[in-house]
Every structure is written in structure tokens, then in C-alpha cells.
Chains A and B, each alone.
Chain A
Amino acid sequence: DVKVTQSSRYLVKRTGEKVFLECVQDMDHENMFWYRQDPGLGLRLIYFSYDVKMKEKGDIPEGYSVSREKKERFSLILESASTNQTSMYLCASSFPPQLSDTQYFGPGTRLTVL
């Protein structure tokens, strides 16, 4: 079974703090993704990565950066957290040998910025 783990289930930070969200997958997947999920807006893609050291912007990258130094690990960084970044953050990974990808999601990190 594919396992995607996220470093924290709940996180509370203050405005202006630097925040790191970690995601680890154990299936040697090439692709990894970060989403945020907000009521009424569904899931929105922040960043994704095709491979180590590679990253691409998704739909809403502003205010975020990412790091992928190892294949199994994909980090989301909030350089200076703001209250509008309070959200549920979901990490996913996929390996596409077939026609299209199936994404495997972690349990999510609920981040509150005060």
C-alpha cells in the first residue's frame, strides 16, 4: 500500500513566522504535489514536482515555495506566514506508468496562522 505521510496534522503559527510543511512518500513516486483545501473552493494546486530538484508552479503559488532534495520528500515553505494562509494543506504523490496519473494523498495538515 502506498503511504504518504505529512509531518503534522495540526499546526498553529503566528503571522510572519517561517513555516515548513513536510511530506514523505514511500513508493518511489516521481511526481509530488501540494494543494490547499478551503471550504467552497475545493482543492487548489500550489506547486508540483516531476523529480528531484525540479519544481513547477501550480494555480496559486504566491506566498509559497517548495523544496525537493530527495525523491521521497517534498517540502512546502511559507516564508512569512499570513492569516490568509490558514487552510488545510494536502500533499500527494503519483507515478504514471499508465495512461494517466492516480494521486495518493496524505492525511493533511491543518494550519492556523494567528
Chain B
Amino acid sequence: LAKTTQPISMDSYEGQEVNITCSHNNIATNDYITWYQQFPSQGPRFIIQGYKTKVTNEVASLFIPADRKSSTLSLPRVSLSDTAVYYCLVDPWRGTGFQKLVFGTGTRLLVSP
């Protein structure tokens, strides 16, 4: 199984850029990396997904180096509403091998005024 490791917590201030790194040393060739956001009393919500290099959407960017053993979620100019837990997931390609689904333990991001 491709175990993932993330920092337990991070602190930031409004307007700053936040980078959360996840390591996944045993990632398989066909696995994708997906990040989810979870607010208290809610289920996780999809943020972004990528395979290699850089992916950007309206919410975040995802950087994946060539060896794919880690990935970095980048949140530009965070606000108080970005306070949440962020999970990194190694995601089997086309849903093959859901047995391999491995969520990290999550990073608790606290954004202060």
C-alpha cells in the first residue's frame, strides 16, 4: 500500500500562501494523487487531482515532482474559511484496486486573522 505522510498541523494568517506537502514513497505507476478538504461535522470534499507536474484550478495548485514520491498542495492567499483538515489520497487509476485507497491522516490548517 502506498502509505502517505503529512504534517499533523499548520498555522497561517489571512492572505498568505500555504503549502502542504504529502509524501507517498510507494506510489504505483498508475496511481493519481488527490486532495480533499474537510470541515468539522462534514464529509471530505474534493479539491484537486493530478498525476505529474503541475495542476491548477480555481481553488488550489498541485505540484508533483518527477519522481512522484511527494506532492504539494498550494493554497494561494488563504482566508479564515480555509481553516479545515486537508487529506492527501493516493488514488488508483480508473478505480482499479480500490483496496489500495489510502488516505493520509490529514493536516489541520488553522488560519488566523
Residues of A participating in the B interface, judged by any CB pair closer than 8 Å:
4, 31, 33, 35, 40-45, 48, 50, 56-59, 90-92, 94, 96, 99-108
Contacts and interface: CB of A to CB of B under 8 A. Distances in A.
Interface stretch (B13-21, B56-64, B67-75, B102-110): B102-110
A-B pairs, top 10 by smallest CB distance, nearest first, are A105-B43, A42-B105, A43-B103, A100-B32, A96-B95, A102-B46, A48-B98, A42-B103, A101-B95, A45-B101
Contacts of A35: 103
A90 B43 contact: yes
Contacts of B81: none
25 contacts: A31-B95, A35-B103, A42-B87, A42-B106, A43-B44, A43-B103, A48-B98, A50-B95, A56-B98, A57-B99, A58-B101, A59-B102, A90-B43, A92-B43, A100-B34, A100-B91, A100-B93, A100-B94, A101-B91, A102-B46, A103-B36, A105-B44, A105-B45, A107-B42, A108-B41
A101 B99 CA distance: 14
A16 to B, nearest CB: 29
B83 interface: no
Contacts of A50: 95
A58 B98 contact: yes
A90 B95 CA distance: 19
Interface of B: 1, 32, 34, 36, 41-46, 49, 51, 87, 91-95, 98-99, 101-106
A99 B32 contact: yes
B86 to A, nearest CB: 11
A81 to B, nearest CB: 22
Do most interface residues of chain B lie in helix, strand or loop, or is the interface mixed?
mixed
A106 B43 contact: yes
Contacts of B105: 40-42
A43 B87 contact: yes
A40 B106 CA distance: 8
B79 to A, nearest CB: 23
